Amino acid sequence: MRIELREWREEDAPVVLRAFQAPDMARQSALPVLSLQDAVGWIAGWAKKEHAFAVTLDGRVVGNVAVTNIDRHANGWVSYWTVPEARGRGVASAAVRLLAEWAFEERGLFRLELGHRTNNPASCRVALRAGFRAEGIERAKLLYDGVRYDVERHARLATDEAG
């Protein structure tokens, strides 16, 4: 199993569209991704942001990892997703580890943070396996469909051991 990160390409739009068809992904984009045109727009939008990479598994695009909201203190916010068929195989945690190595070595960041709903144990496993330590609960932080969700915050420092 070979996991690599690369720049997003317009021809990746069918993967993005398929990914956002999964019920748990529908709310993960600021704008709906309901057509190939929307998927191309999603890719173009990431190109304008700080650092987002397509995750490839044996050459096939299967997800996204990104570090955004980089501040003057050398902190950044990590996000990630994989297509349903890549889940449970260690792809996301390996990709987040690669992203963290890149962010620390190439971008010079010191602290990376991420958060997940507390009712998402799979995302917690990704964070822990990628070397992100749990730091605490942010109560009622997210609002989806009129329901508030607690978020567990994780962080990894450039001085931490890799996961």
pLDDT in tens, 88-126: 999 999 999 999 999 999 999 999 999 999 999 999 999
* Residue predicted with more confidence, 79 or 145: 79
Report the sign of the C-alpha dihedral through residues 67, 130, 88, 91, in that order.
positive
pLDDT in tens, 26-71: 777 778 899 999 999 999 988 776 699 999 999 999 999 999 999 9
Looking at the domain assignment, is residue 163 inside a domain?
A: no
**For residue 130, is it within any domain?**
yes
Cα–Cα distance list, 147 to 79, 141, 150 (Å) = 22, 10, 10
First and final C-alpha spacing in the chain: 18
pLDDT recorded at residue 163: 60
25, pLDDT greater than 90: no
Q: Structure pTM?
A: 0.93
Q: At what angle do helices 121-129 and 91-105 cross, to 10 degrees?
A: 50
Position 145, amino acid: D
What tokens were used for 2? 């070979």
In a domain, 153, yes or no: yes
Q: Is 113 contained in some domain?
A: yes
Mean pLDDT of 72-89: 95
Kind of pairing between the strands at 75-82 and 111-117 = parallel
Domains: count for the chain = 1
The domain spanning residue 143 has which CATH number? Answer: 3.40.630.30
Least confident window among 6-20, 36-50, 92-106, 131-145: 36-50
What is the reported pLDDT for 1?
A: 85
Pair 74, 101: CB distance under 8 Å: no
> What is the reported pLDDT for 49?
67
CB of 43 closer than 8 Å to CB of 9: yes
pLDDT of 153 reads: 98
